[in-house]
Structure 1
Amino acid sequence: MWRALRITVLLVVLATVALGAWRAQHRATSWVNTLHVSIYPINADGREATARYIDQLEVQDFAPIADWLDGEARRYGINTLKPLAITLAPPRTSLPPQPLRHPSALEALMWSLQMRYWAWRNDDSPGPRPDVRLFVQYHDPAVTTAVQHSVGLEKGLIGLANVFASRVDHGGNLMVIAHEMLHTVGATDKYDPVTLMPRFPDGYADPQQRPATPQTQAEVMAGRIPLSPERADIPLSLRHVRVGPTTAAEIGWLRAP
């Protein structure tokens, strides 16, 4: 009897958690209300230069992401008064669990659970609880020339972005953050994981263009501007980034690509 009761209680708890997650995901992708996103800066390498950079960050530094998403949403007929609102949380004092580069299914699941628990323990964003939490790990470019792969979790609405602690790289940082944010609301990568080249057609900002290259914009989930079938450049800012039709469908802006 007691065993049956424990199983029943556990099933009720799991159902409640699942329902809460579904409601949060549905609200985040309905685009009826403002999507509230909080950014949590992290000093990933412990260097003083990185700490100084993080200390001078202000919420206005991330406003271009909200402005960009507003413009892209309106291109697809999404007329939410304010599609995105961003808040800046205090810097984290501990590092989150780091994902493996090529994890197995079990390793990916374990990291996801660890990351969600860590995020819960390190959530003190100002104001109302955000819909999406983006933990942004900053690295000093003087000692780090390449950063680890960034990850966005649709289940949990959590992103882990790796960027550079440099004003020169700020525009590129914003694109990485926007990319991971869209992962949390259902967007998928649209580049070849080996070559990092955008996939045609869904990785092209204008897949109807003929000839297909050179493009002038990057598709946000491809991350690069295709200049030829063998070359693609990283955009310097969100001014050169678009939400393509496939991504728009994935995040709820279109019924079909």
Structure 2
Amino acid sequence: MEPGSGRVFYTPLHEQHQTLHLGMFRKFRIAILIFILATVGLGAWRANARLTTWEHSVHVAIYPIAADDSPATRSYLNHLSIDSFEDIAQWMQTESNRHGRSVLQPIVLHLASPLTDKPPLAPSHPSAQEAILWSLKLRWWASQNDAIAGPKPQVRLFVLFHDPELNSRTPHSTGLAKGQIGLIHAYANRQQRRQNNVVIAHELLHTFGATDKYDLATLQPIHPQGYAEPQRTPRLPQARAEIMGGRTPIDEVTSEIPASLTETVIGQETAREIGLLRTDR
């Protein structure tokens, strides 16, 4: 009704139908996306369950990507070798042994040639629908860009390297347990290679089912699960970082990013999540 006119205005019937159809289409599209994601997730869960029995070596492929057009980044990628990442495999062997899993080579790393195509980046603060769409887009993109010599990898890690002279901060890295895919941001700098490998190892464990063990607001590791030595006396400072806690706690409000994997461990809760520790232990 128009104020003061006494006349009533109705929405045309075809517009009502159009609004109704749009609403039904959105619900249908969301339902289809959820169904697809559930189907993919079930397959990924089964694949993850097979991986984390640790009866055989898990083949992990690393796909380097230049995140910018810097000549320094291109040069860094051209000089990468599997040795650049070997401390990840050595660390995984050490931690597997420490948790009582006598597996010869828990992970075997493979290095692909640098990719020219870039993956879809995760939206910032996505809605549930946007997160599902991005996850599906990433999986599709990965399936089109995972060529590598040798055995078919069970885990695919796409590492985007940034020139630190152009980027003082990188986007958030992501590891998907449902899909065994990692999308990792690192620095194209030899001095930061070991710290890059800490980030890569963290995301690798996400693909095995490990969860974050730090406060998302403060980035402080959560006690006790995010501490390398939760029973240590005094509790602070800690000497090393729990890999999924992400940092070494110094005091109640301060923590440090580990310089290399030698400063990190896989804690008991993380070890249970990825199958290194049986639940009956």
In the superposition, the TM-score normalised over structure 1's length comes to 0.91
Amino acid at match of 1:33: H
- 1:255 maps to which residue? 278
Q: Residues 200 and 169 of structure 1: is their aligned pair in 2 closer, same or farther, counting only changes over 3 Å?
A: same
Q: Residues 103 and 17 of structure 1: is their aligned pair in 2 closer, same or farther, counting only changes over 3 Å?
A: closer
C-alpha deviation, 1:102, in angstroms: 2.2
State whether residues 136 and 160 of structure 1, in contact with CA within 8 Å, keep that contact through their aligned partners in structure 2. yes
Secondary structure at the aligned position of 1:60 is classed as helix
Alignment partner of 1:106 is 2:129: yes
- 1:183 maps to which residue? 206
- 1:194 maps to which residue? 217
- 1:174 maps to which residue? 197
User: What percent identity do the matched residue pairs reach?
Assistant: 50
- 2:110 maps to which residue? 87
Secondary structure at the aligned position of 2:250 is classed as strand
Secondary structure at the aligned position of 2:190 is classed as coil
Alignment partner of 1:72 is 2:131: no
State whether residues 101 and 149 of structure 1, in contact with CA within 8 Å, keep that contact through their aligned partners in structure 2. no
Aligned length: 245
One of 22, 36, 61 as aligned partner of 1:38: 61
C-alpha deviation, 1:40, in angstroms: 0.2
Alignment partner of 1:26 is 2:59: no
Structure 1 residues 1-257: aligned runs within 5 Å: 20-256=43-279
- Please identify the structure whose Cα radius of gyration is greater: 2
Show CA shifts across 1:60-80 (max 9, x none). 111100000000011110111
Residues of 2 paired with 1:203 and 1:101: CA distance?
25
Residues of 1 paired with 2:253 and 2:42: CA distance?
45
Amino acid at match of 1:135: F
C-alpha deviation, 1:16, in angstroms: 8.6
Structure 1 moving runs of 4+ over 3 Å: 13-23
Secondary structure at the aligned position of 2:236 is classed as coil
Residues of 1 paired with 2:239 and 2:47: CA distance?
36
Show CA shifts across 1:68-123 (max 9, x none). 00000111101111101000001110110000232222211111100000000001
- Structure 2 gaps of 5+ residues are 1-35
C-alpha deviation, 1:20, in angstroms: 4.6
State whether residues 41 and 179 of structure 2, in contact with CA within 8 Å, keep that contact through their aligned partners in structure 1. no
Task: Provide the aligned C-alpha RMSD in A.
Answer: 1.8
State whether residues 99 and 277 of structure 2, in contact with CA within 8 Å, keep that contact through their aligned partners in structure 1. yes
- Structure 1 gaps of 5+ residues are 1-12
